[in-house]
Amino acid sequence: MDLNKDVKYVKGVGPNRVKLLNKLKIYTLKDLITYYPRNYEDRSKPKKIIECINGENSLIEVVACSNIEEIHLRGKTMYKLIVRDDTATATAIWFNQSYLKTKFKYGKKYKLYGKITNNFGNITINSPIFEEQDKNDNTGKIIPIYPLTYQLTQNVLRKIIENGLKEINIQIEETLPQEITKKYNLMPLKDAIIQIHFPKDLKQYQLARRRLVFEELFVTQYALKKLKTENQTKAQGIKFLKEINLDDIIKKLPFSLTNAQKKVIKEIEKDMESNRAMNRLLQGDVGSGKTIVAIISAYKAIKSGYQVAVMVPTSILAVQHLESFKSILEQFNIRSELLVSAMTKKKKKEILEELKQGKIDVLIGTHALLEENVEFSKLGFVVTDEQHRFGVKQRMTIVQKGNNPDVLVMSATPIPRTLAIILYGDLDISIIDELPPNRKKIETYAVRKSLEPRINIFIKKQIDEGRQCYIVCPLVEENEEIDLKSVTKLYETYKNEIFSQYNVEYIHGKMKAKEKDEIMNRFKEKEIDILISTTVIEVGVNVPNANIMVIEDAQRFGLAQLHQLRGRVGRGEYQSYCILKYEGKSEILKKRMEIMCQTNDGFLISEKDLELRGPGDFFGTEQHGLPNFKIANLFQDIEILKQVQECLSENKFENLSISEIFEQSFFGKIEYQRF
């Protein structure tokens, strides 16, 4: 069976299940069999009842020595079965599952898997999974646990994946050359795919995972390496004019640059004056002053006779950047304009016309810049802000609107340098490692819900002194409707009950750009005291008078994202505060909260964040700004990454295009040559 065939052809997949699978982004057979488990349960080794440890999940082999007893409790029905083996007796209990009544026969043998509790010798197994002694569907092996949405159960998905694997069983061909699989001791791909879903034992699982991680990292590293070579060998880039003296603009700024800013501007200037096209990543913590670096570089490009494009992820940010660019560049007769999808057709047309005629020097906008009808007369410099939201492909699209323009990619997700070199292998890196002077540390407190009343009093006091406050709700699910509800619900409570004497508003990503702008403007103008929001305000918003950031359900966010959000305050002269409301008791959670309270250093936080992410942590990379790997975990797999890089530097692989690399890998052959 063809791997790219629709998943609906897999046995056990009807129209209903297709929809559910699609929700998990499983469309093809290949998607299905590369939908990896997030965890495993070892149901392979039965234990004697007496050996079971209180609180642990265990498999027991027992005889039913009662019939199912139905007990009505308040609001629920309990089903009870007495079982025993040759060491002890235990009680199995389930709730509200009436079909169980006919499932057990007195005197028959069963396997049960579930959580054991031992209460002074009264042993209970809670809502166990069960199976007749001679069956091996749900017990007797290591069972994969998949990340799921509701409605699709583990058992169903497991069965579907099993069926899918049967169908392609013979057809998974090795992708990596034998020399490499041998040298790095890699399990054959076919075995790896099967073992990752249904590992025979721990060892097999580890080998399978290693093989798949190797391939995934190999492919991404190969693609990046290729991009970099392409950039370097491309036709000549633009040589911006040496005569344009950046001091002319720098001396007009309302502040003096930090040493770190001066350093990165030098690096950029050098690139701009050389005839090689610049591809540079500018990393700096929130508030480190990246925008001004972009403005100064843009000045050089424009004064050398070129146009500049600035691409940002949200229209709020576009509007804000427009203001920043204008406030500095207008005095040099440089014209900056906005392009976002929400603009009227007429206005858009005007802008596009003037852009084509070269009457606009800087065009700032969202994805709208990528559209085909956006034509520059002489695009020489491209800035993309908050780069992790744009893929490499989008970057290429905008770049192609110019003739080998210089590119500056700005990222506000600080990641350790070692990692940056790996992930942004196609870019040179500049780092702003210093904040402008006189920034006060944002006081951060992690608190439980019970402290809410005190926090609310604190907020009121700050507002009475003239400040403003953000309240951020997490994305509850990948479901916009539900997210929306959580924002509006919170809004109702805050507006009508807790903060009824203040101006409370809300904003979320689904609103029209115009509405969002309007609300942000009113917030800026201090017409709104409290702004309730989803993470749309995460990137770049600048309202210096706001000094409190409350984050609801902070446990749901990655550290890097919390840090980003926190960066919305602490932008003015006032002492600022970040309040992380959280629930949950795990040690890791506590540690995560502690880190946030202890430090404001984004690079440090990002290192810790990676460290604390365990293997089963699916919460994450998207929130972190790192590429979203299917199976690799950059912190855990750094050793494999090193081997991949070694492998790539020693061998030359056949010249595949980037898209070919992604398509062919996994189930197509990657050809290579030795140097």
- Which listed residue (58, 139, 175, 288) binds ligand ADP by CB under 6 A? 288
Residue 138, binding choice from ligand ADP, Mg ion, none, Cβ under 5 to 8 Å by partner class: none
Taking the complex as a whole, the smallest distance from the CB of residue 368 to ligand ADP amounts, in Å, to 21
Taking the complex as a whole, the smallest distance from the CB of residue 238 to Mg ion amounts, in Å, to 25
* By CB under 6 A, residue 290 contacts ligand ADP: yes
- Which listed residue (128, 164, 289, 402) binds ligand ADP by CB under 6 A? 289
User: Which residues, numbered 479-518, are part of the site for Mg ion (CB under 5 A)?
Assistant: none
* By CB under 6 A, residue 319 contacts ligand ADP: no
Cβ count near 314 (within 10 Å): 23
* By CB under 5 A, residue 164 contacts Mg ion: no
* By CB under 5 A, residue 284 contacts Mg ion: no
Half-sphere exposure of 165 (CA within 13 A, CB side): 20
Q: Considering only the stretches 290-298, 364-372, 496-504, 636-644, report the one whose residues sit in contact with ligand ADP under the rule CB under 6 A.
A: 290-298
Q: Contact, 55 vs 184, CB < 8 A?
A: no
Instruction: For residue 154, count CB atoms less than 10 angstroms from its CB and return exposed for 0-12, middle for 13-18, buried for 19 or more.
Output: middle
b/e string for 226-255 if b means 16 or more Cβ within 10 A? bbbeebeeeeebbebeeebebeebbeeeee
* By CB under 6 A, residue 287 contacts ligand ADP: yes
Distance of alpha carbon 43 from its chain centroid, rounded?
A: 32
* By CB under 5 A, residue 144 contacts Mg ion: no
Taking the complex as a whole, the smallest distance from the CB of residue 361 to Mg ion amounts, in Å, to 20
Instruction: Extract the tokens encoding 141.
Output: 């092996």
Taking the complex as a whole, the smallest distance from the CB of residue 383 to ligand ADP amounts, in Å, to 11
Taking the complex as a whole, the smallest distance from the CB of residue 520 to ligand ADP amounts, in Å, to 15
Taking the complex as a whole, the smallest distance from the CB of residue 565 to Mg ion amounts, in Å, to 14
Torsion of CA 371, 375, 376, 379, to 10 degrees: 50
Provide the residue type at 470 as one letter: Y
* By CB under 5 A, residue 540 contacts Mg ion: yes
Residue 144, binding choice from ligand ADP, Mg ion, none, Cβ under 5 to 8 Å by partner class: none
Cβ nearer to ligand ADP, comparing 227 with 282: 282
Cβ nearer to ligand ADP, comparing 117 with 324: 324
Site size for ligand ADP, by CB under 6 A?
17
* By CB under 6 A, residue 199 contacts ligand ADP: no
Instruction: Extract the tokens encoding 232.
Output: 């370097």
* Spatial strand order in the sheet of 406-411: 336-339, 362-365, 307-311, 379-385, 406-411, 279-284, 428-432
Taking the complex as a whole, the smallest distance from the CB of residue 312 to Mg ion amounts, in Å, to 9
Taking the complex as a whole, the smallest distance from the CB of residue 92 to Mg ion amounts, in Å, to 58
Instruction: For residue 331, count CB atoms less than 10 angstroms from its CB and return exposed for 0-12, middle for 13-18, buried for 19 or more.
Output: exposed
Cβ nearer to ligand ADP, comparing 28 with 288: 288
Instruction: For residue 614, count CB atoms less than 10 angstroms from its CB and return exposed for 0-12, middle for 13-18, buried for 19 or more.
Output: exposed
**Which residue, among 614, 571, 576, 577, has the nearest Cα to 592 in the 3D structure?**
614
* By CB under 6 A, residue 416 contacts ligand ADP: no
Taking the complex as a whole, the smallest distance from the CB of residue 355 to Mg ion amounts, in Å, to 24
Q: Give the integer Cα–Cα distance in Å for 342 and 48.
A: 67
Q: Give the integer Cα–Cα distance in Å for 336 and 342.
A: 18
Interacting residues with Mg ion (CB under 5 A): 540
Interacting residues with ligand ADP (CB under 6 A): 255, 257-258, 261, 284, 286-292, 412, 436, 540, 542, 571
